[in-house]
């Protein structure tokens, strides 16, 4: 029987995931201005794989069977993640970091709609209200007006990959160990990045962005990847994505701190609506899980 701390663990981990994901957007904006999107993906996730290698050697000695079981689902996650991260990186080079954060977050209504249609998630008026508020908020945080750019369209295409990646994590997180999945996901992503890389950048450019790539690899890839799998183990995909609505707020905040991209009145209203939507989602999750807990007792 799950206890109260377990019920809170998933949402709390996913809140942290959303905040840390938000830190990546201004860094991605800087990195893809120095090197190609393909190189960004290749080097970021190669570094991630290198950092996980000691754990893989340990698993080969102690639990080889468990590691092997994660190969197929890890490859599936890797292909979906590759599509999302490459298109996001490529598109962010042609739009603002704040816009990229907003458009990426459109995977939230996509996941919600798919989950409801598959009857994997019971329809709830409060969750729907939270979804509507989050979408309006994400629109406003982009400035309350929209002019299509090629970069925006690339990031939008990537949001569909993110949606299916979240749905896949929802399935696999209940069956496989988190770091095993993360390793194979990032190994596939790194290989894809090298395949899609264009003309190599200069060594000076690579050295200039290396500290940012290390942060993205260690924190925004490995640490956040594990937190995402663990967090979604204790939540449904639709519940998870409603918490992920915090991501564009975090992206806007860190874009302001690092790049000077400021939020005006309209953008601030959008951020407030997103925060309200997340609070509604968390309260409704607590109510549903509290009811389940009583029924189990």
Tokens 């598959």 -> residue: 118
Tokens 């080889």 -> residue: 64
pLDDT tens across 204-246, in order? 888 999 999 999 999 998 999 889 888 888 887 777 877 887 8
pTM for the model:
0.74
pLDDT tens across 148-167, in order? 567 778 888 898 998 899 88
Q: Is the pLDDT of residue 124 over 70?
A: no
Domain ranges within the chain, ordered by starting residue: 4-296
Question: Are 44 and 187 contacting, i.e. CB atoms less than 8 angstroms apart?
Answer: no
Q: Is the pLDDT of residue 296 over 50?
A: no
Cα 290 to Cα 65: distance, rounded to the nearest angstrom:
37
Q: Is the pLDDT of residue 263 over 80?
A: no
pLDDT tens across 242-258, in order? 788 787 778 878 888 88
Cα 27 to Cα 25: distance, rounded to the nearest angstrom:
5
Q: How many CB atoms lie within 10 A of CB 154?
A: 22
Spatial CB neighbours of 42, under 8 Å, sequence gap ≥ 6: 190, 193, 194, 196, 197
- Nearest-CA neighbor of 69 among 181, 164, 154, 150? 181
Q: How many CB atoms lie within 10 A of CB 226?
A: 18
239 vs 3, 288, 292, CA distance in Å? Answer: 19, 11, 15
211 vs 189, 256, 260, CA distance in Å? Answer: 20, 20, 20
């Amino acid at each position: 029987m799950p206890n109260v701390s377990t019920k809170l663990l998933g949402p709390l981990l996913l809140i942290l995931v959303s905040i840390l994901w938000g830190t990546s957007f201004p860094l991605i904006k800087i990195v893809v201005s120095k090197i190609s999107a393909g190189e960004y993906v290749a080097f970021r996730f190669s570094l991630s794989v290198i950092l996980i290698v000691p754990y893989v050697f340990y698993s080969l000695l102690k639990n080889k069977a468990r590691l092997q079981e994660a190969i197929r689902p890890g490859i599936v996650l890797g292909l979906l993640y590759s599509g999302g991260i490459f298109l996001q990186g490529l598109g962010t080079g042609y739009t603002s970091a704040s816009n990229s954060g907003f458009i990426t977050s459109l995977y939230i209504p996509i996941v919600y709609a798919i989950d409801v249609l598959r009857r994997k998630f019971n329809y709830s008026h409060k969750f729907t209200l939270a979804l509507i508020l989050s979408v309006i908020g994400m629109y406003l945080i982009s400035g309350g007006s929209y002019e299509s750019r090629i970069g925006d369209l690339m990031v939008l295409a990537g949001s569909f990959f993110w949606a299916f990646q979240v749905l896949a994590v929802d399935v696999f997180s209940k069956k496989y160990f988190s770091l095993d999945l993360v390793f194979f996901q990032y190994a596939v992503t790194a290989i894809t990045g090298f395949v899609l890389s264009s003309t190599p950048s200069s060594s000076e450019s690579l050295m200039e962005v290396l500290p940012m790539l290390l942060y993205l690899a260690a924190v925004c890839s490995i640490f956040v990847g594990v937190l995402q799998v663990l967090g979604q183990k204790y939540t449904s995909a639709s519940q998870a994505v409603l918490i992920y609505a915090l991501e564009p707020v975090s992206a806007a905040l860190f874009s302001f701190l690092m790049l000077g991209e400021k939020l005006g009145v309209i953008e601030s209203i959008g951020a407030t609506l997103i925060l309200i939507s997340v609070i509604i989602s968390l309260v409704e999750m607590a109510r549903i899980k509290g009811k389940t807990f009583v029924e189990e007792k």
